[in-house]
Amino acid sequence: MKLLFATNNSNKLKEVQAKLPHFEIVSLKELGVTEDIPETGNTLEENALIKARYLYEKFNLNCFADDTGLEIEALDNEPGVFSARYAGEEKSAESNMAKVLEKLEGKTNRKARFRTAIALIANGKETVIEGVVNGEILTKKTGTEGFGYDPIFKANGFDISFAEMDMETKNRISHRGLAVDKLVDALKNK
C-alpha cells in the first residue's frame, strides 16, 4: 500500500520507514510539496487531522500526518502544541532547548512526556492514534543523535538521552515509535 506521510522532516521519515518496511511511504518532498501546512489546531490531534485532511483532499491518496509535543509538568505542560516554535517561528531546536532549560533552572520537578498524535485517512476513513513516552528533562544537552528535544529528554527506565540512543532502541520506546506501532495495527485492519 502506498501511503503519503505529511512530512518534509528526513529524520521523522527515516523513523517511520523503519517501522513500516512493507509500505511505500511517500514524503511531501517526493510530491513536490514544500509549503508548510498550517497547524492552526489547539491540540496535537487537531493539527494532525488538519494536515491529513489537507493532503487527502489535495492528492486523494491514503495518508497520515503527525503532530508531536513535549509536555513538561512544571511548566503547565508547555511547550505542548507549540513545541516546534517554542522559542520563535524559526523553529530552532537549539533555541527551543535553551528556553526549556532556562525555564526549568532551579526546579526539581523535571517530569516530562513526549506525545505524538497520528491522523490516518485510509479509503476516506479517519483514525487518530496516540503514542506517549514518559521521562524527564535533563539539566544539560547530551548526545548527538536524533533531533528536536532529544538531547535533553531521558525516558523513564533509561540512563541516557534520546540523542544518545541508537535508532532501533529509540524507535522501540519513543512516542512516535509507539504511535507508529498502533498505525501499523490500524493499517492491517483496512
Q: What is the 3-state secondary structure (H, E, C) of the chain?
A: CEEEECCCCHHHHHHHHHHCCCCEEEECHHHCCCCCCCCCCCCHHHHHHHHHHHHHHHHCCCEEEEEEEEEEHHHCCEEHHHHHHCCCCCCCHHHHHHHHHHHHCCCCCCEEEEEEEEEEEECCEEEEEEEEEEEEECCCCCCCCCCCCHHHEEECCCCCCHHHCCHHHHHHHCHHHHHHHHHHHHHHCC
- 67 classed as catalytic: yes
**Which one of 36, 66, 67, 76 is the catalytic residue?**
67
Active site residues: 67
